[in-house]
Amino acid sequence: MNRFFVTELHIEDEYIELRISEPVDKTVAEQLQDGERMLVDSDQLAFVYILEDAEQFYYLVFVEAIWQGLAKIYNEDKRVQVVFNDEKTIVLTAIHNELEFLLENIQGNGNYGERLEEAVLAHFS
């Protein structure tokens, strides 16, 4: 399973740019597309945006340490894009809707676990 960890967010006038922790193989980066959905990893306290190519899924991971930036994405109506190797840019077209849906469902829902619910309330309230 391929995971890309978001380590930086740069807020510009018209968009928010995400950077990941490590370089990605150029061939892989060229094939990546927006998967248009987001999940929660309750065990790791992470939000996970899905990217994909023709054969598999890739996880763009927002660990709790980066949730302050994720809260800015939630609160600002700006285009969000992730950049791979300073060459390939993918716009995350569904991140606002997906994040809103997840945050509404996590609050008061014990299925996600108490730790995740408390962390979400601390960062997104």
Q: Where are the chain's structural domains? A: 2-124
Q: Residue 120: exposed, middle, or buried by beta-carbon count in 10 A (0-12, 13-18, 19+)?
A: buried
Q: What is the CB neighbour count within 10 angstroms for residue 33? A: 12
**The predicted structure's pLDDT at residue 26:** 93
Whether residue 110 is predicted with pLDDT greater than 90 in this model: the reply is no
Per the prediction, the chain carries an average pLDDT of: 94
Is residue 1 over pLDDT 80?
no
Q: What is the pLDDT of residue 25?
A: 93
- Nearest Cα residue to 8 out of 18, 62, 83, 87: 18
**Residue 98 is encoded by which pair of tokens?**
């997906």
DSSP, collapsed to helix, strand or coil, labels residue 66 as helix
Banded model confidence at residue 53, pLDDT cuts 50, 70, 90: very high
What is the C-alpha to C-alpha distance for residues 79 and 97, in angstroms, rounded to an integer? 12
Confidence of residue 108 (pLDDT cuts 50, 70, 90): confident
